[in-house]
């Protein structure tokens, strides 16, 4: 019964955490997700993202840049999903040769349709 309640609560979640060290890219990503109907919270790096996840248990999707100073996007995704197994992840990269085998990846630059497609694929 508890598992069904948790699944129902997750289905109602619409909060996305956007993590990118570039403020302009982070803002553009947040705007696209808001246009898709999601509530967005933002972090500039992996440490801020983990702190935000502690504060916001309603986050259901982590959308992170791959290459950031300190903790990379794949490192953040691994750490976050180990701690919050319900968390969905999408990684973004401008490097076409970057491999993230455990998580869906979207290539930069992306547009509304690409964002809609990748986010709907993980929700």
Q: What is the pLDDT of residues 32-62, one digit of tens each?
A: 999 999 999 999 999 999 999 999 999 999 9
Instruction: Count up the domains in the chain and report the number.
Output: 1
Neighbours of 70 (CB within 10 A): 11
Cα–Cα dist 106/8, whole Å = 27
SS (H, E, C) 49-74: HHHHHHHCCCEEEEEEECCCCCCCHH
Cα–Cα dist 58/17, whole Å = 10
Dihedral (CA of 107, 110, 113, 117) sign: positive
Cα distances from 118 to residues 2, 52, 54, 56, 57, in angstroms, run 29, 23, 25, 23, 22
Give the confidence band of 4 by pLDDT, cuts at 50, 70, 90: very low
CATH of the domain at 19: 3.40.50.2300
> What does the pLDDT look like over 78-105, one tens digit per residue?
999 999 999 999 999 987 666 666 899 9
Residue 117: give the domain boundaries: 2-122
Between 101 and 11, the higher pLDDT residue: 101
């Amino acid at each position: 019964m508890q598992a069904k309640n948790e699944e129902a609560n997750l289905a109602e979640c619409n909060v996305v955490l956007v993590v990118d060290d570039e403020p302009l890219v982070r803002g553009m990503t947040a705007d696209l997700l808001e246009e898709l109907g999601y509530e967005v919270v933002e972090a500039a790096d992996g440490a801020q993202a983990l702190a935000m996840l502690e504060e916001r248990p309603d986050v259901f999707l982590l959308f992170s840049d791959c290459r950031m100073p300190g903790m990379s996007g794949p490192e953040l995704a691994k750490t976050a999903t180990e701690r919050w197994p319900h968390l969905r992840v999408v990684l973004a990269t401008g490097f076409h040769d970057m491999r993230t085998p455990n998580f869906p990846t979207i290539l930069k630059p992306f547009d509304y349709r690409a964002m809609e497609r990748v986010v709907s694929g993980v929700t």
